Amino acid sequence: MTEFITKYIGFFAAFCTTFAFLPQAIKVYKSRSTKDISLYMFLIFTIGVLSWLIYGLIINDWPIILANAVTLVLSFFILIYKLRYK
């Protein structure tokens, strides 16, 4: 039972931290503005998310895999806009 609860807490935490990026991605898409977003912070963040995804794949942990796969897509989206619309 504890493993069941732990896994669902992991999925809930993954959902919250992943979809926290959605409003920012929508704002960037609509405004085409990323001037207040630090390029270096987002590069480091994206590398960190990719590392978490690789780690999740290595240990076969689905909450980590799913959360970081979606976060990586959103992060790349914002990063591309940051580089494109300087």
Question: pLDDT for 14-62, tens place per residue?
Answer: 888 888 888 988 998 899 888 888 899 989 999 999 999 999 999 998 8
**pTM for the model:** 0.80
- CATH number for the segment(s) 2-84: 1.20.1280.290
Other beta carbons less than 10 A from residue 32's beta carbon: 9
Whether pLDDT at 12 is above 70: yes
What is the reported pLDDT for 63?
Answer: 86
What 3-state class would DSSP assign to 68? Answer: helix
Whether pLDDT at 1 is above 70: no
What does the pLDDT average to over 78-85?
87
Q: Residue 48 to residues 31, 54, 69, 76: CA-CA distances in angstroms?
A: 26, 10, 12, 12
Domain residue ranges in the chain: 2-84
Which pair of structure tokens corresponds to residue 53?
Answer: 């995804």
Find the angle CA(37)-CA(67)-CA(35) to the nearest 5 degrees. 10
Contact 82, 39 (CB under 8 A): yes
